[in-house]
Amino acid sequence: MWSLLFALFAVLTYSQYAHGQTCKTFVKVLDNVYFKDDFGESKRKTVVASKDCQAACNSETTFKCAGFLWVSPSGDCILLDQISLSKKVLVTNSLYDLYVPFCGGAQAAPSIGSCKYEVTKSNVAVADGVQPGFISPSACQDLCVGRFRNIECTAFLTSPGNPMYSKCLLYAKVDDSDVKDGNMVLWTKVCSP
């Protein structure tokens, strides 16, 4: 009897969490996320200089808030109507953290997969990249993340050594056969569960 009641409670708790119906408490699931990423939402709203993003989410009236991005403790807050935990979220040097509802009880705290750009090879060259010009390596990453010229960018090359001025090449895809000896640094989008 008790095991049946416990199972029913667990199913109801998960169902309420999945549909964003009753959880008013949120938990941080990821740091430094790219705020323009696609989280599966159809609506988003920015609350400027929020001191309590959780309260803003819980009191939102134009849509059912399912989670938020926040530069805590008093930065901008981005409310989202849906968050797909099956997506891979891009982690950058952003100050935004991702929060989702957590009902507690028998279920574990939710988690979400992430991706980031890492140096995967040095002293290389790759032909035929889109070259936006000479910029800093961090600006090159920003152009890659921001889909410069609508490129679904998964990799970029930068010049080593100078943090302020670098050649930048963007790529939708880089295969091992594309990589030759050279003098550049290859950054690749690497994802984890």
Phi, psi of 52 (to 5 degrees): -150, 90
* Residue 100 reports pLDDT greater than 60: yes
Together in a domain, 91 and 177: no
Q: Could you report the per-residue pLDDT of 20-32, keeping only the tens digit for each? A: 446 889 999 999 9
Together in a domain, 50 and 97: yes
- At 153, list the tokens: 């960018």
DSSP string for 125-192: EESS-EEEEEE-HHHHHHHHHTTGGG----EEEE-SS-SS-EEEEEES---GGGEEEEEEEEEEEEEE
User: Which of 75, 96, 111 marks a domain boundary?
Assistant: 111
- At 9, list the tokens: 């409670």
Looking up residue 62, the CATH number of its domain turns out to be 3.50.4.10
Type of residue at 186 = L
Which distant-in-sequence residues (6+ apart) come within 8 Å of 91 by Cβ? Answer: 30, 31, 32, 33, 34, 114, 115, 116
Together in a domain, 140 and 105: no
User: Which of 111, 131, 146 marks a domain boundary?
Assistant: 111
Together in a domain, 121 and 58: no
Pair 81, 64: CB distance under 8 Å: yes
Phi, psi of 11 (to 5 degrees): -65, -45
21-25, 63-67, 106-110, 173-177: range with lowest mean pLDDT = 21-25
Q: What is the mean pLDDT of residues 169-174?
A: 96
Q: Could you report the per-residue pLDDT of 66-83, keeping only the tens digit for each? A: 999 999 888 999 999 999
Together in a domain, 94 and 163: no
Residue 9: the pLDDT is 33
Q: What letters, b where the CB count within 10 A reaches 16 and e where it falls short, cover 18-54?
A: eebeebeebbebbebbbbebebebeebbebeebeebb
CA separation, residue 34 to residues 90, 111, 121, 151, 180 (Å): 6, 17, 24, 17, 31
Q: Could you report the per-residue pLDDT of 116-146, keeping only the tens digit for each? A: 999 999 999 998 899 998 999 889 999 998 8
How many domains is the chain partitioned into structurally?
A: 2
Q: Could you report the per-residue pLDDT of 84-95, keeping only the tens digit for each? A: 988 899 998 889
- At 23, list the tokens: 């959880």
State if pTM tops 0.85.
Answer: no
Together in a domain, 125 and 49: no
